[in-house]
């Protein structure tokens, strides 16, 4: 190979290096070219944690990856900043879906997802009403401190009080409450609210009759709605996922340590399959 050829090859390789080095640097910094915007944009990340493990994650109809087999987690990198329909699926389970926005240079989190089995069986067991009597005894222990405000009853109405906002009505015709971690669930026959250090969040409002409500996890509640047993997530981004799983007449609810739903209907007690 003579000197001219070596020089030519060196120049070609140098030009390739000069051309692609900025591209590689930008790629490593998380940038991509958006042909719709005709501009460089910084990509975002979607992080998912779900039960059961090994669920499939789809973005706007396209399969991306599965969560791992041990911790049920997955991270999807280098996503263009825009809205995606995020779907989490597994055979024999009801799908979870929500439209979420991926933002430039940010991580969008989907945490504590529980896929609900397509079929949930309930069987009658020996009646142990003390499960429900214990819960009834704690129903009206107020006032209760949550973060920088208190919640308290006046007659049948539930209020909150804080120094910055003063006295505010949460709901009328208070029926009951439940708690999980640092979150409190309160409900009337028409509304369900979640109260935490972050504030007060309306989870559900209806023209039907809410008969009872309990936490399943910190991210899901179970409630009785006009004789239907419903599971609702507490993530209010887009539309919360909502599942009707059974029907009982005027049920009362509880959750045990095995993640099973207990339903007291008149003098009969029923227990569900474990939900996760």
**pLDDT, tens digit, 9 for 90 and up, residues 140-174:** 467 888 878 888 888 889 999 888 889 999 999 99
Matching residue, tokens 């919360």 = 240
pLDDT-based confidence at residue 210 (cuts at 50, 70, 90): very high
Write the CA distances from 152 to 74, 116, 158, 270, integer angstroms: 41, 34, 6, 33
CA distance 149 to 164: 9
Q: What is the mean pLDDT of residues 214-229?
A: 96
Query: Of 148 and 187, which is predicted with more confidence?
Result: 187
Query: Of 227 and 149, which is predicted with more confidence?
Result: 227
In the predicted structure, residue 273 carries a pLDDT above the cut 80? yes
In the predicted structure, residue 39 carries a pLDDT above the cut 70? no
- CA gyration radius, the chain: 26
Closest CA to 104 of 32, 176, 171: 32
CA distance 180 to 164: 26
CA distance 96 to 157: 35
CATH of 43-114, one of 3.40.605.10, 3.30.450.270, 2.60.40.1120, 3.40.50.620: 2.60.40.1120
Q: How deeply is 6 buried, as exposed, middle or buried, from its count of CB atoms within 10 A (0-12, 13-18, 19+)? A: exposed
CA angle, residues 47, 53, 56, in degrees to nearest 5: 65
**pTM reported for the whole predicted model:** 0.83
> Are the CB atoms for 151 and 158 separated by under 8 Å?
yes
Query: Where does 122-272 sit in CATH, by number?
Result: 2.130.10.10
What is the rounded (10 degree) CA torsion for 13, 19, 25, 26?
Answer: -160
pLDDT at 4: 66
pLDDT-based confidence at residue 1 (cuts at 50, 70, 90): low
């Amino acid at each position: 190979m003579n000197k001219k050829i070596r020089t030519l090859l060196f120049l070609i390789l140098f030009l390739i290096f000069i051309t692609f080095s900025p591209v590689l640097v930008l790629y490593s910094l998380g940038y991509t070219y958006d042909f719709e915007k005709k501009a460089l944009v910084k990509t975002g990340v979607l992080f998912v944690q779900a039960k059961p493990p090994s669920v499939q994650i789809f973005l706007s109809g396209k399969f991306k990856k599965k969560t791992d087999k041990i911790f049920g987690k997955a991270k999807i990198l280098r996503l263009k900043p825009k809205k995606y329909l995020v779907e989490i699926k597994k055979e024999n389970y009801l799908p979870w879906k929500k439209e979420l926005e991926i933002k430039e240079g940010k991580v969008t989190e989907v945490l504590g997802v529980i896929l609900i089995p397509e079929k949930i069986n309930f069987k009658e067991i020996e009646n142990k009403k003390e499960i429900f009597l214990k819960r009834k005894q704690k129903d009206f222990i107020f006032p209760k401190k949550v973060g920088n405000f208190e919640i308290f009853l006046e007659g049948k109405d539930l209020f909150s009080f804080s120094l910055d906002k003063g006295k505010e009505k949460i709901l009328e015709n208070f029926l009951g409450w439940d708690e999980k971690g640092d979150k409190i669930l309160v409900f009337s026959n028409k509304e369900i609210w979640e109260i935490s250090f972050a504030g007060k969040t309306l989870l559900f409002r209806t023209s039907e009759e809410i008969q009872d409500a309990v936490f399943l996890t910190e991210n899901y509640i179970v409630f009785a709605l006009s004789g239907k047993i419903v599971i609702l997530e507490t993530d209010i981004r887009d539309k919360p996922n909502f599942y009707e799983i059974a029907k009982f007449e005027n049920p009362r609810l509880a959750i045990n340590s095995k993640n099973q739903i207990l339903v007291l209907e008149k003098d009969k007690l029923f227990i569900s399959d474990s939900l996760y």
